[in-house]
A and B are shown apart, each in its own frame.
Chain A
Amino acid sequence: MMGLDCKEVTRQLASDESPVNRRGRFLIALHLFLCNKCRRYKAQLEIIGKTARDLWARPRDDEALGRLRDRIFMRDS
């Protein structure tokens, strides 16, 4: 028996609920080691997070930033 079922593992992963103790961490790690479906689920969450970060990559040279600086500091002065 793997200790935790897949449903519980996915719930903890997706809600960012960190295990309260060493045993909890061990059970999650063990389950992921044994279960390729939950590993794939975890990989999906990671891909989604990374894609979102890339999608709205910080607008460093965005002209909107210049425009906003003007608007913010004009109001201020």
Chain B
Amino acid sequence: MNFEDPQFVERIRSGDSEALRDVVESYLPHILNTARASGLAPERAEDVTQAMFTTFLERASEFEGRSHVRTWLFGILYRKISEARRDLNRERRSDAIDQVMEGRFDPRGMWKSPPQAMALYGGEIAKFLKDCMEGLASLQRMAFVLREMEEMDTEEICNISEVSHTHLGVLLYRGRNGLRECLEAKGVKRQ
């Protein structure tokens, strides 16, 4: 199934039930996964997923095919998650992680306290990472999820979440470093 084929776009627009079903089948696992990873409680994630696809089916006739259907779906999901998590649309001008990273380098920009080898955490890294994700600001977490788990390119994430490349860069920088620092702190404590 080629979702970019103009004929397929036309079938979505005209409400062709087979085409609509194909879209739902192809993207349901991704959408549910993203809703879960975004930090919503399991039942909440399912409700948001259902609401997202209901909106898609209701508005399929408005789909113009200017962006990939995936971008359109994730755009709807993003707005649904924003509604479910009111804090999603706020990102602070400064974040504690910026200072932490600043302190990692000397005035010449060289490492003052270098990163540790991650093998230190062994098999427990997954459990720790889950905890550390909870500590991320929600926009940072969302950017991280779309980039690392859905493996989208930055262009698509900017379109979905309606942020500039610069803003997305800041979100990814803070999100990833927040997770790194959190993991290192947990690893150090265990020694």
Q: A48-B179, A52-B148, A58-B33 are in contact. Are A43 and B118 (CB under 8 A)?
A: yes
Interface mask (B134-172 → A, CB under 8 Å = 1, otherwise 0): 000000000011011101001000000000000011101
The answer on a CB contact under 8 Å between B29 and A58 is yes
The answer on a CB contact under 8 Å between A65 and B176 is no
Contact of A53 among B104, B109, B149 (CB under 8 A): B149
Q: How large is the interface on A (under 10, 10 to 19, 20 to 34, 35 or more residues)?
A: 35 or more
The answer on a CB contact under 8 Å between B111 and A6 is yes
Q: A47-B118, A64-B46 are in contact. Are A75 and B173 (CB under 8 A)?
A: no
The answer on a CB contact under 8 Å between B33 and A56 is yes
Interface mask (B36-54 → A, CB under 8 Å = 1, otherwise 0): 1100001000100110011
Interface mask (B71-107 → A, CB under 8 Å = 1, otherwise 0): 0000000000000000000000000000001001100
* Chain B residues whose CB sits within 8 angstroms of the CB of A65 once the complex forms: 28-29, 32
The answer on a CB contact under 8 Å between B109 and A55 is no
Query: Chain B's nearest CB lies how many Å from the CB of A36?
Result: 9
Q: Which of A11-41 contact B (CB under 8 A)?
A: 11, 14-17, 37-38, 40-41
The answer on a CB contact under 8 Å between B57 and A14 is no
* Chain B residues whose CB sits within 8 angstroms of the CB of A41 once the complex forms: 115
* Chain B residues whose CB sits within 8 angstroms of the CB of A8 once the complex forms: 109
State the B residues within 8 Å of A (CB): 20-21, 24, 28-30, 32-33, 36-37, 42, 46, 49-50, 53-54, 57, 101, 104-105, 108-111, 114-118, 125-126, 129-130, 133, 144-145, 147-149, 151, 154, 168-170, 172-173, 176-177, 179-180, 183
